[in-house]
């Protein structure tokens, strides 16, 4: 079996990937805070870790990989959207409005990420379903001297964990100097971070030994990962913007609670706009839905992401999208009516296994297309979630509608000139490409028929 090598952010080295249990390879990825539509920056980790998930399934077998990605449904921004609806006159209780907002956002998220060909993770836990586990973990941290309760808050005592800062490669003192840490009267040390905080009576809250309140964001992931994947698991992923403080804090909590944690940490670099991270707070974003509605197919968005290594920053540009669309249209033409090879090309699997070298894998696909190995191209593209049946609708529809318009124009011209030869020539070429042609006085309709071969349409 070909070995997978992954760049581990924790050791800053590319390492052989050796699963703890090859019959159950386990991966946790930090998921979205569900208060609004995902922007295309948010889609980058989805495509990156979906590609890794597909590779792991290819290597270890579909039944032997557990992928968990959470929904963060406790958050001030969610509360704010619900409060805005209440202020606008909605009489329902805040809890119902919050639930409605998170349900709606999860529905959008699923629809948008499905459109990018991302498989749904095996488990998609919601933070609010694991409050009990979070409370238990926090209680254990207090008992172990790693956390303290004060004024309804529980704080993690950062100085109690000697390894703090190791993931991001910084010392606690540097972090204090560089980060905007909140100084608060209930903190022993400005670096200490919140595990639990009180909730106002008009906001969602849960009973706990420290009063009615809600968990901090970091403890959510530690508790869900532990509950669903066990004390130690293989891979933890997320965007590089989460490395500090979120992931640093997850590690501190889980290790001090006496669990191990993830062995390999992977971080995708940012999707940028003019050198800056695309983010909601900067306002420099557009959503996945915006692009889909503008007619950019999900498959095009996916292949644009795959064109850049996940560890490098990238921009979204219209030129990249146009080039990607041309590639996919060509490939879809080449593989039309062809069965995929039984296995993907070894060169593609090798590239993906080399720390997800997706650009290299795509280059291998181009080479296969060039030498006429269409069955190999198809099988290989599918390992990356491309050229799948479900994602192909856009390519068929658009090609043929352009040709239908052309045929119709030729027919109009022929009616005037009485020279039907150009119409007949295009019609014969379409039939030769396996297209069903229906011409009536109402118009021209083209449908892919048996033996449809889109490559033969390229010259028309
Ligand atoms: N510009 C970006 N490029 C790549 N990944 C990103 C980008 N912005 C956010 N992410 C990733 O998206 C995932 C979901 O994050 P989350 O829902 O917390 O985003 P967010 O914080 O609402 O987005 P924003 O950063 O725009 O406020 C995380 O893994 C995060 O690292
Ligand atoms: Zn997380």
CATH number at residue 144: 3.40.50.620
What total of structural domains would you count in the chain?
A: 3
* Closest CA to ligand 1's atom 7: 41
Task: Report the interhelical angle of 393-417 vs 421-432 (nearest 10°).
Answer: 160
Dig out the tokens for 4 from the structure: 């997978």
Q: Map residue 174 onto helix, strand or coil.
A: helix
Residue 90 located in a structural domain: yes
Cβ atoms within 10 Å, residue 346: 12
In terms of domains, do 411 and 339 share one? no
Residue 162 located in a structural domain: yes
Single residue among 343, 365, 396 that ends a domain in this structure: 396
How far CA 139 is from CA of 136, 163, 338, in Å, comes to 5, 21, 59
Ligand nearest to the CA of 254: 2
Looking at residue 246, the DSSP 8-state letter turns out to be I
Ligand nearest to the CA of 313: 1
Please tell me the pTM assigned to this model: 0.89
In terms of domains, do 134 and 264 share one? yes
The span from the CA of 76 to the CA of 194, in Å, is: 14
Residue 402 located in a structural domain: yes
In terms of domains, do 301 and 407 share one? no
In terms of domains, do 234 and 359 share one? no
In terms of domains, do 109 and 13 share one? yes
In terms of domains, do 240 and 93 share one? yes
The span from the CA of 40 to the CA of 30, in Å, is: 16
| Residues bordering ligand 2, an ion, CB closer than 5 Å | 30, 221
| Residue 14 pLDDT | 98
Using the mean position of ligand 2's atoms as its centre, give its distance from the Cα of residue 215 in Å.
Answer: 13
Local confidence pLDDT in tens for the 460 residues of the chain? 459 999 999 999 999 999 999 999 999 999 999 999 999 999 999 999 999 999 999 999 999 999 999 999 999 999 999 899 999 999 999 889 999 999 999 999 999 999 999 999 999 999 999 999 999 999 999 999 999 999 999 999 999 999 999 999 988 887 777 666 777 889 999 999 999 999 998 899 999 999 999 999 999 999 999 999 999 999 999 999 999 999 999 999 999 999 889 999 999 999 999 999 999 999 999 999 999 999 999 999 999 999 999 999 999 999 999 999 999 999 998 998 899 999 999 999 999 999 999 999 999 999 999 999 999 999 999 999 999 999 988 887 657 877 888 899 999 999 999 999 999 999 999 999 888 899 888 888 888 777 777 777 777 8
Domain that holds residue 422: 398-457
Using the mean position of ligand 2's atoms as its centre, give its distance from the Cα of residue 243 in Å.
Answer: 9
Residue 289 located in a structural domain: no
Query: Under a CB-based contact definition with an 8 Å cutoff, are residues 152 and 210 in contact?
Result: yes
In terms of domains, do 388 and 445 share one? no
Using the mean position of ligand 1's atoms as its centre, give its distance from the Cα of residue 42 in Å.
Answer: 5
| Residue 452 pLDDT | 74
| Ligand 1 near 277 CB (within 6 A) | yes
Single residue among 357, 376, 396 that ends a domain in this structure: 396
In terms of domains, do 327 and 414 share one? no
Pocket test for ligand 1, best of 42, 283, 287 (most atoms within 8 A of CB): 42
Cβ atoms within 10 Å, residue 57: 17
Ligand nearest to the CA of 248: 2
């Amino acid at each position: 079996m070909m070995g997978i090598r992954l760049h581990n952010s924790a050791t800053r080295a590319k390492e052989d990937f050796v699963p703890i249990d090859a019959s159950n390879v386990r991966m946790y990825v930090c998921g979205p805070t569900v208060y609004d539509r995902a922007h295309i920056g948010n889609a980058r980790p989805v495509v990156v870790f979906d590609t890794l998930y597909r590779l792991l399934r290819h290597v270890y077998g579909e039944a032997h990989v557990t992928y968990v990605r959470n929904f963060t449904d406790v958050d001030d921004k969610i509360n704010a959207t619900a409060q805005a609806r209440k202020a606008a006159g909605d009489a329902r209780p805040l809890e119902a409005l919050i639930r409605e907002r998170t349900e709606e956002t999860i529905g959008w998220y699923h629809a948008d990420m499905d459109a990018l060909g991302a498989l749904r993770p095996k488990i998609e836990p919601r933070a609010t379903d694991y409050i009990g586990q979070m409370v238990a973990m926090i209680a254990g941290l207090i008992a172990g001297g790693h956390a303290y309760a004060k004024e309804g808050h529980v704080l993690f005592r950062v100085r109690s964990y000697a390894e703090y800062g190791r993931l991001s490669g910084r010392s606690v003192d540097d972090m204090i100097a560089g980060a905007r840490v909140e100084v608060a009267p209930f903190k022993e040390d400005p670096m200490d971070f919140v595990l639990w905080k009180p909730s106002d009576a008009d906001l969602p809250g849960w009973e706990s030994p420290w009063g009615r309140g809600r968990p901090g964001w970091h403890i959510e992931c530690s508790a869900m990962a532990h509950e669903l994947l066990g004390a130690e698991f293989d891979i933890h992923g997320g965007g590089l913007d989460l490395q500090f403080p979120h992931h640093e804090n997850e590690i501190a909590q889980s290790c001090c609670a006496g669990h191990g944690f993830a062995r390999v940490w992977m971080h995708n670099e940012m999707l940028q706009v003019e050198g800056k991270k695309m983010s909601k707070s900067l306002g420099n974003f557009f959503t996945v839905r915006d692009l889909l509605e503008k007619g950019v197919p999900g498959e095009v968005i996916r292949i644009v992401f795959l064109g850049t290594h996940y560890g490098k920053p990238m921009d979204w540009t219209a030129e990249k999208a146009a080039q990607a669309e041309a590639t996919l249209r060509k490939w879809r033409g080449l593989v039309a009516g062809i069965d995929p090879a039984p296995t993907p090309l070894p060169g593609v699997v090798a590239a993906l296994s080399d720390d997800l070298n997706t650009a290299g894998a795509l280059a291998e696909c181009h080479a296969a297309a060039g030498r006429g190995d269409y069955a190999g191209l198809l099988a290989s593209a599918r390992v990356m979630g491309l050229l799948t049946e479900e994602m192909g609708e856009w390519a068929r529809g658009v090609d043929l509608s352009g040709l239908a318009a052309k045929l119709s124009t030729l027919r109009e011209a022929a009616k005037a000139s009485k020279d039907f030869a150009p119409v007949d020539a295009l019609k014969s070429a379409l039939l030769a490409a396996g297209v069903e042609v229906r011409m009536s006085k109402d118009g021209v309709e083209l449908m892919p028929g048996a033996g449809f071969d889109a490559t033969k349409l390229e010259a028309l």
